[in-house]
């Protein structure tokens, strides 16, 4: 830890019943098409028009925004267990029901709602209550994007009031913003503050390829605000409130929101494909520090390329380890969070112009983004569901395998109430082998996992990327 006191970054859903909120150390073209209020982005069907804060007071912005923010209730199942587990009978643990709540933002008049992934995670039953509190709707999950902690829901309703969406690139540090949500189950709460910083990476998204470039605000945000709206003084959405930094679990002055531009791209992907279309350039980059500066000389901005993957042939041919990326398509890159955010706007197949410094000489190269399998297709990932394990799996892509240093693996993408949940295997866990049987062929491996009795030894990789060996006994 860099500070003398423990600071937690907290995903701010309110959780009741048998568990507490999620905590992470701060080491750490229908009516429903989403539109944004400025310049055209290279992201599917999004359009923009100019917007500035102006001198509108808090009252008008609050009146305009509160009808667009909803209350979300989640009834989920979670595993509670000891360190030892029997496949068919667990005397030391159980699966229990957890009730939690958060917020969401209406983005179309016909019932599309955006929220945080952690608000709806493990849901057995989801419901949405509108701002007026008069009616409760069952909610369907259209898609999730764990790498950005976003999710898209749909309710069967018409005539709703969608939020207007601003271009979050234009928001300035020091600008007034309002946070609208349901903290501590208090419906339609509005707080005011300023934008304290932009491009914050707080290491809270537990994903292999996280996208973190948060807007930081001092508007009061508390548990229950997760998935709620951060808006400017015109009542336009600039971000989705996601986390707070706190020693106590409550607001102490640091809140974090996902920028609206990222939200729009993710929403459009989820509506069109049911999953995000992530473009990979094949580069691993780090922020420039004193040690790097000693090697490359004085460089003001940019990110240092620490590795180039062979999974993207275009970048592997044109960019080298040690290069400095200073701009992408003319947009200056100052730090890794900004680099990650810029890439988040694009899809596989997009061609981007990279400005790089090599041996103190500036040059421009073209890079074609690819999907996680190394192709330019807008690919639909195939998921495999096991009715025995009550879990969903997907085959690993080339970038994932390369990053983990393995040549095969099967990733868990969803865990329902059942065997895998009792094993305490989380979403994002990668099976490498079971009793040395490799996770290469999906059907063969799932059959092995479903049918093996006696001692079971699993080799795998945690969602955080660490090797893990688990031992169970199955009757």
Q: Delimit the domains of the chain by residue range.
A: 8-273, 283-368, 383-474
Measured CA to CA, the distance from residue 128 to residue 72 in angstroms comes to: 5
Q: What is the pLDDT of residue 253?
A: 78
Residues 163/106, Cβ–Cβ less than 8 Å = yes
CA-nearest of 78, 95, 83 to 470 is 83
CA atoms 411, 416, 419, 425: torsion sign: positive
Tell me the whole-structure pTM to 2 decimals: 0.79
Looking at CATH, the fold of the domain delimited by 8-273 is given as Thrombin, subunit H (2.40.10)
- Residues with pLDDT less than 70, the chain: 1-56, 77-96, 205-209
Say what the alpha-carbon torsion angle 423, 275, 169, 361 is, to the nearest 10 degrees: 90
CATH 2.30.42.10 fits 383-474, yes or no: yes
Phi, psi at 404, each rounded to 5°:
-85, -10
Closest CA to 225 of 104, 66, 74, 68: 104
Nearest to residue 355, comparing CAs of 326, 392, 323?
A: 326
C-alpha 470/C-alpha 386 separation (Å) is 20
Quick check: 81 and 424 in contact, CB under 8 A? yes
| DSSP 8-class letter at 86 | B
In this chain, the answer to whether the domains covering 8-273 and 383-474 adopt an identical fold is no
Q: What is the DSSP letter of 375?
A: S
Annotated active-site positions, please? 118, 149, 226
Domain 283-368 has CATH 2.30.42.10: yes
Beta strand 164-165 pairing with 236-246: parallel
Task: Tell me how far apart the alpha carbons of residues 121 and 98 are, in angstroms, rounded to a whole number.
Answer: 11
pLDDT at 17: 36
> What is the C-alpha separation between 69 and 66, in angstroms, rounded?
5
Burial state string for 82-115 with b = 16 or more CB within 10 A and e = fewer than 16 = eeebebeebeebeeeebebbbbbbbbbebbbbbb
Confidence at residue 300, expressed as pLDDT on a 0 to 100 scale: 80
pLDDT of residue 304: 95
CA 20 to chain centre: 21
| Other C-beta atoms lying within 10 Å of the C-beta of residue 253 | 15
Nearest C-alpha neighbor of 384 from the set 312, 439, 452, 315: 439
Burial class (CB in 10 A: 0-12, 13-18, 19+), 126: buried
């Amino acid at each position: 830890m860099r500070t003398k006191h423990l600071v937690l970054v907290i995903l701010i859903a309110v959780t009741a019943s048998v568990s507490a909120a999620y905590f992470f150390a701060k080491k750490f073209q229908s009516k429903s098409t989403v539109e944004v209020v400025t310049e055209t982005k290279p992201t599917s069907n999004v359009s923009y028009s100019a917007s500035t804060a102006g001198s509108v007071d808090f009252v008008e912005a609050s009146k305009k925004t509160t009808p667009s923010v909803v209350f979300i209730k989640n009834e989920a199942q979670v595993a509670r267990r000891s360190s030892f587990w029997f496949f068919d009978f667990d005397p030391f643990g159980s699966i229990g029901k957890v009730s939690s709540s958060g917020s969401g933002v209406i983005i179309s008049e016909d019932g599309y709602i955006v929220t945080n992934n952690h608000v709806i995670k493990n849901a057995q039953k989801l419901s949405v209550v509108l701002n007026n509190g008069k009616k409760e709707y069952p909610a369907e999950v259209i898609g999730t994007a764990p790498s950005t902690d976003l999710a898209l829901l749909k309710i069967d309703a018409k005539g709703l009031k969608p939020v207007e969406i601003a271009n979050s690139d234009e928001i300035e540090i020091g600008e007034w913003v309002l946070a609208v949500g349901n903290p501590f189950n208090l419906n339609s709460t509005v707080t005011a503050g300023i934008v304290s910083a932009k491009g914050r990476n707080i290491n809270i998204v537990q994903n292999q390829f996280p996208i973190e470039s948060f807007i930081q605000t001092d508007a009061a945000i508390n548990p229950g605000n997760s998935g709620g709206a951060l808006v400017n003084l015109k009542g336009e959405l600039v971000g989705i409130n996601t986390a707070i930094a706190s020693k106590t679990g409550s607001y102490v002055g640091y809140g974090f929101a996902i920028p609206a531009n990222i939200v729009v791209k993710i929403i459009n992907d989820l509506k069109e494909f049911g999953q995000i279309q992530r473009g990979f350039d094949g580069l691993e980059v780090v922020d420039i520090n004193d040690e790097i500066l000693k090697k490359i000389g004085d460089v003001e901005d940019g990110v240092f390329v620490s590795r180039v993957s062979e999974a993207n042939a275009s970048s592997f041919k044109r960019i080298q380890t040690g290069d400095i990326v200073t701009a992408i398509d003319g947009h200056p890159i100052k730090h890794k969070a900004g680099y990650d955010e810029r890439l988040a706007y694009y899809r596989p197949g997009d061609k981007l112009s990279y400005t790089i410094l090599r041996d103190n000489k500036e040059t421009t190269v073209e890079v074609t983004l690819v999907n996680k399998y190394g192709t330019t297709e807008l690919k639909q990932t195939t998921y495999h569901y096991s009715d025995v394990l009550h879990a969903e799996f997907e085959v690993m892509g080339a970038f994932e395998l390369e990053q983990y240093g393995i040549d095969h693996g099967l990733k868990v993408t969803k865990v329902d109430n059942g065997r895998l949940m009792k094993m305490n295997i989380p979403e994002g866990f990668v099976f490498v082998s079971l009793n040395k049987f490799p996770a290469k062929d999906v059907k063969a491996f799932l059959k092995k996992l479903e049918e093996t009795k006696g001692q079971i030894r699993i080799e795998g990789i945690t969602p955080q990327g660490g090797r893990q060996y688990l031992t169970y006994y199955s009757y």
